[in-house]
Amino acid sequence: MKSPEFVHLHLHTEYSLVDSTVRIAALMQRCVDMGMPAVALTDKNNLFGLVKFYRKAIAAGIKPLIGVDLRIMNEEEPNRPYTLLLLCQNNAGYRNLSQLVTRSYLEGQVRGLPMARREWLDQQSCEGLIALSGGLHGDIGHALHGGHVEKARHLLEGWQATFPDRFYIELIRTGRAGEEDCVRSSVALASETRVPVVASNDVRFISPDDFNAHEARVCIHDGRGLADTDRPRLYGESQYLRSPAEMTELFADVPAALENTVEIARRCNLDLKLGSSVLPAFPVPGGQDEGDFLEAEARRGLEAALATKFELEGVPEKQLGPLSAPYYARLDSELSVIQSMGFPGYFLIVADFIRWARENNVHGRTRCCH
C-alpha cells in the first residue's frame, strides 16, 4: 500500500455552526474516494461532533484525529482572539482538551464567545496534546505579519516549553491576504529555531463548488447580502478538502510540511470507549460496595417513612407487619432494577444532593401556568 502523502489536520464541520458547511457523512465518503487514511476534526471551541465523527470514521476505515481550534484571548485586541490548534495524542490529551474547552465556556466568555486564557495552558494542562500554531491567525503568525520577529521568537519559545517536542508552526495557503508573507516568515523562523512546520488547508467546505453556499450561510448569520461590497471576506475559495495531490503540489517547496502531517497522524492514537455509562464513584463506608450501602440507606429511609405514616394513621402494632410487606416488596423490586443497570452510585449521588439541599434550606420552586 502506498504511503500517505498528506493528512488534513485543520478542518471545521457543521458543528462549528456558521463557520463551515462540512457534513460528517459526506466528509467520510470524500475521504474514502480520495484514499485518505486519516482526517482530523478540529471544530471551533467545541467537541460537539466528536462522537458522530469518531463512529463514522471508524466505520469508513479512516483513522479519526480529534482536536479543537481553540480561541485564545488577545489582551491587546479582545475582539480578535488568537487561534491555537490542539490535537489529542492520547486519552490523557482528550481529558485535558475537554477540560480546557469546558473552562473556556464557564470562565472565558467574551461577548458570548468562549475563549481560553494563555495562562491556563501549561505543561500539565496540555499533556497529551499536539499543538499547531494557527497560521496567520495564531499569535506567532500575527506577530510575524506585523513585522515583530523578535516577539514571534519569544512566543514560540513559550509554546515550545508548554508543548515540548509537540509544537508545530502551521503553514496555510488558501489565497487570503497576508497568508503567503506569513508562510515565508514562518518558514524562516522555523529554519532558524529548528521547529517543525506542518501544512494545512483550514477546511470549511468539501468541494470548490460549495464556496457560494458557505458564503450565503455566513451572510445569513451576519445579516448581510452576498453583493454587499462592505461585508468582511473572511474565507477563501480554496478552503475546500483538497486532495493529497493538490496539497503536494501546493507545498512542493516545503515537503517537510507535508511529511509532518502524516507524522502527526501517526502520533495521535486516541482510543474512545463509546456506548457505556461512566459515573463517578460514591464514597461508601469501609467493607461495603455501593449496592450494599444503597440498600441499607433505602431500607433505613423506608422504615422511618412507614413509622411516621402508621403513627399518623393510628395503625395498631399487630398490623404493622402485613401493611409494611408490600412496601418492602416494591423496594426489593426497585433495588433489583437499579443493581442490574449498574446505577447504585448514581442514586447515592442524587440522594447526597437532596440531603445537602435540605440541610442548607434550599428548596425547589414549581411554576404553574394558568
- HEC assignment per residue over 244-312: HHHHHHHCCCCHHHHHHHHHHHHHCCCCCCCCCCCCCCCCCCCCCCHHHHHHHHHHHHHHHHHHHHHHH
| pLDDT in the model for residue 212 | 82
CA–CA separation, 211 vs 219, rounded Å?
Answer: 12
Residue 368: pLDDT above 70?
no
Quick one: average pLDDT of 71-97?
Answer: 94
- Beta-bridged to residue 338, according to DSSP, are none
Instruction: From the options 3.30.2420.10, 3.40.50.300, 3.40.190.10, 3.20.20.140, give the CATH code of 14-267.
Output: 3.20.20.140
Looking at the chain, list the stretches that DSSP marks H as alpha helix, in order from N- to C-terminal side: 24-33, 50-59, 91-107, 139-145, 149-162, 179-193, 211-222, 244-250, 255-267, 290-313, 320-341, 344-359
| pLDDT in the model for residue 227 | 77
As to burial, measured by CB atoms within 10 angstroms (0-12 exposed, 13-18 middle, 19+ buried), residue 201 is buried
| pLDDT in the model for residue 161 | 97
Which pLDDT band, with edges at 50, 70 and 90, does 218 fall under? confident
Please report, for the chain, the start and end positions of each structural domain, with discontinuous segments joined by +: 14-267, 290-359
**Residue listed under C-alpha cell 418492602:** 328
| pLDDT in the model for residue 364 | 62
Quick one: average pLDDT of 247-253?
Answer: 96
| pLDDT in the model for residue 7 | 97
Residue 267: pLDDT above 80?
yes
194: left (phi over 0), alpha (psi -120 to 50) or beta: left
Tell me the percentage of the chain whose pLDDT exceeds 90: 73
CA–CA separation, 278 vs 310, rounded Å?
Answer: 40
Prediction pTM value: 0.79
Quick one: average pLDDT of 281-301?
Answer: 88
- In tens, the pLDDT along 6-31 reads 999 999 999 998 889 999 999 999 99
CB 45, CB 114: distance < 8 Å: yes
Residue 160: pLDDT above 70?
yes
Instruction: State the cell numbers at 300.
Output: 433505613
Which pLDDT band, with edges at 50, 70 and 90, does 366 fall under? very low
Residue 147: pLDDT above 70?
yes
Residue 369: pLDDT above 60?
no
| pLDDT in the model for residue 2 | 58
| pLDDT in the model for residue 365 | 56
Centre a 10 Å sphere on the Cβ of residue 340 and count the other Cβ atoms it contains.
8
Question: Does residue 8 or residue 343 have the better pLDDT?
Answer: 8
| pLDDT in the model for residue 3 | 64
Question: Does residue 262 or residue 284 have the better pLDDT?
Answer: 262
Tell me the percentage of the chain whose pLDDT exceeds 70: 97
Edge-first strand order for the sheet with 38-44 is: 38-44, 63-72, 82-88, 129-132, 167-172, 197-200
